[in-house]
């Protein structure tokens, strides 16, 4: 999601969070999303780009 593709631009950190939450339980495993977001917030990784 952070990498720019030929067919799609990269997403900023807020858009990534929204996409993960929107697809939580369908495309992405809920526990993995929860853990990723928890680590992202704790390590302040979600605000490095954008």
Mean pLDDT by 10 residues, the chain (50 residues): 92 91 97 94 71
- C-beta separation of 30 from 40 below 8 A: no
Burial 17-42 (b: 16+ CB within 10 A, else e): beebeeebeeebeeeebeebbeebee
Q: Which domain holds residue 31?
A: 7-50
Residues 6+ apart with CB under 8 A from 12: 49, 50
Contact 36, 20 (CB under 8 A): yes
Q: Is residue 1 assigned to a domain?
A: no
Residue 45 lies in a domain: yes
Query: How many structural domains compose the chain?
Result: 1
Q: Does a structural domain hold residue 2?
A: no
Residue 27: per-residue pLDDT: 97
First to last CA, the chain: 12
């Amino acid at each position: 999601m952070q990498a720019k593709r030929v067919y799609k631009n990269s997403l900023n950190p807020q858009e990534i969070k929204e996409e993960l939450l929107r697809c939580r339980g369908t495309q992405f495993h809920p526990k993995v999303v929860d853990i990723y977001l928890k680590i992202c917030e704790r390590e302040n990784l979600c605000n490095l780009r954008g």
